[in-house]
């Protein structure tokens, strides 16, 4: 069975700079009870608030609010098209892809955070995101920074690739490296079982790169308000973690930072 990490433990791990949080003190049990009784919250929100209450230093704002011009037009955001399932004829064509030509050079795309800035600087006051599910965890990605969303078809596995790289997938004549969302993002330490036990359904292409991340399901598109996001200082560890969307209680990814890291062969818990 696939291991699903508890939401509060996972968020604790993400928001902390050090992977081992065992040395941090916990608040008395009666304090946690008072917090839950004081706030009429949903179960997920309660878990998240308790996690922040458990480590008070994480409850402080990590970044000031950034105001975009009031005239920012969110209608101009490009909404990627979800492509219909590949027909059998196309699958046969995909199966003939030459493995020796499927490897994508890392020099094809070299984004840097200094070139593109950080997500909290790039987005407008309001922006749309798509929420997907990876190993039971909800992840949000800004729609304007996606290259497309496609149903998983044939993936060619390439010898010598990292374990978190599923291989390459042919999409309209172009080969894309497909990142195993569970192994790269949720549990890079290797406790997650093979994705074959719970097959991925979609690959989300990241900006205009040759990289995509595999997910198990698509939830919805949401309108995110900048002021309702707990932004994380990207100069610290985990530059891919832009912040936490409070209302949906899900992680917000910086797609450029993700591509920058996979290009270097780094997983989510590495610098």
Least confident of 86-95, 140-149, 231-240, 255-264: 86-95
Name the residue with higher pLDDT: 193 or 148. Answer: 148
Residue 20 DSSP code: -
pLDDT of residue 188: 74
pLDDT of residue 194: 52
Distance CA 173, CA 167 (A): 16
User: What stretch of H or E contains 85?
Assistant: none
User: What stretch of H or E contains 170?
Assistant: strand 165-171
Distance CA 177, CA 160 (A): 13
User: What stretch of H or E contains 43?
Assistant: helix 43-54
Q: How distant is the alpha carbon of residue 164 from its chain centre?
A: 14
Tokens of 60: 């402080």
> Average pLDDT, stretch 228-239?
82
pLDDT of residue 208: 93
> Average pLDDT, stretch 11-15?
55
- CB count within 10 Å of CB 47 equals 19
User: Which span out of 3-12, 42-51, 101-110, 136-145 was modeled with the highest average pLDDT?
Assistant: 136-145
Indicate the average pLDDT of the chain: 69
Ranges assigned E (strand) in 37-136: 126-134
Q: What is the pLDDT of residues 124-140, one digit of tens each?
A: 889 999 999 998 899 99
* All domains of the chain in start order, with CATH: 7-58 (no CATH), 74-263 (2.40.50.180)
Tokens of 204: 């989300």
241 beta partners: 253
Using alpha carbons only, how large is the chain's radius of gyration in Å? 19
pLDDT of residue 191: 62
Name the residue with higher pLDDT: 42 or 170. Answer: 170
pLDDT of residue 167: 95
User: Which span out of 28-32, 116-120, 249-253 was modeled with the highest average pLDDT?
Assistant: 249-253
Q: How many CA atoms lie within 13 A of 105 on its CB side?
A: 2
pLDDT band with cut points at 50, 70 and 90 for residue 215: very high
Q: How distant is the alpha carbon of residue 15 from its chain centre?
A: 14
pLDDT band with cut points at 50, 70 and 90 for residue 198: confident
- Residue 220, pLDDT > 70, answer yes
Name the residue with higher pLDDT: 186 or 88. Answer: 186
Angle between helices 7-15 and 43-54 (to 10 degrees): 40
pLDDT of residue 268: 86
- CB count within 10 Å of CB 162 equals 13
> Average pLDDT, stretch 31-55?
42
Number of residues that this document lists for the chain: 271
pLDDT of residue 62: 42
Q: What is the pLDDT of residues 168-181, one digit of tens each?
A: 999 999 999 999 99
pLDDT of residue 109: 38
User: What stretch of H or E contains 230?
Assistant: strand 229-231
- CB count within 10 Å of CB 35 equals 17
- CB count within 10 Å of CB 129 equals 26
- Residue 259, pLDDT > 50, answer yes
């Amino acid at each position: 069975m696939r291991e699903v990490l508890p939401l509060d433990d996972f968020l604790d791990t993400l928001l902390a700079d050090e992977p081992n949080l065992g040395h941090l003190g916990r608040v008395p049990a009666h304090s946690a009870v008072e917090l839950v009784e004081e706030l009429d919250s949903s179960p997920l929100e309660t878990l998240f608030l308790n996690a922040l209450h458990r480590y008070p230093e994480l409850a402080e704002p990590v970044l000031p609010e950034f105001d975009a011009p009031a005239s920012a037009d969110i209608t101009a955001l490009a909404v990627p098209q979800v492509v219909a399932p590949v027909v059998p004829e196309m699958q046969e064509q995909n199966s003939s892809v030459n493995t020796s030509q499927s490897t994508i050079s890392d020099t094809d795309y070299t984004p840097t955070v200094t070139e593109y800035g950080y997500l909290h600087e790039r987005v407008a006051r309001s922006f749309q995101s798509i929420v997907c599910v990876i190993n039971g965890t909800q992840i949000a990605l800004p729609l304007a920074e996606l290259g497309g969303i496609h149903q998983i078809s044939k993936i060619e596995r390439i010898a010598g690739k990292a374990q978190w790289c599923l291989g390459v997938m042919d999409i309209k004549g172009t080969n894309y490296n497909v990142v195993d969302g569970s192994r790269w993002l949720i549990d890079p330490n290797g406790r997650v079982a093979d994705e074959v036990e719970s097959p991925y359904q979609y690959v989300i292409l990241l900006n205009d790169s040759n990289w995509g991340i595999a997910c198990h399901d698509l939830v919805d598109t949401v309108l995110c308000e900048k002021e309702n996001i707990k932004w994380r200082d990207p100069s610290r560890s985990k530059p891919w973690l832009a912040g936490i969307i409070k209302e949906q209680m899900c992680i917000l990814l910086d797609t450029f930072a993700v591509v920058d890291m996979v290009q270097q062969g780094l997983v989510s818990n590495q610098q």
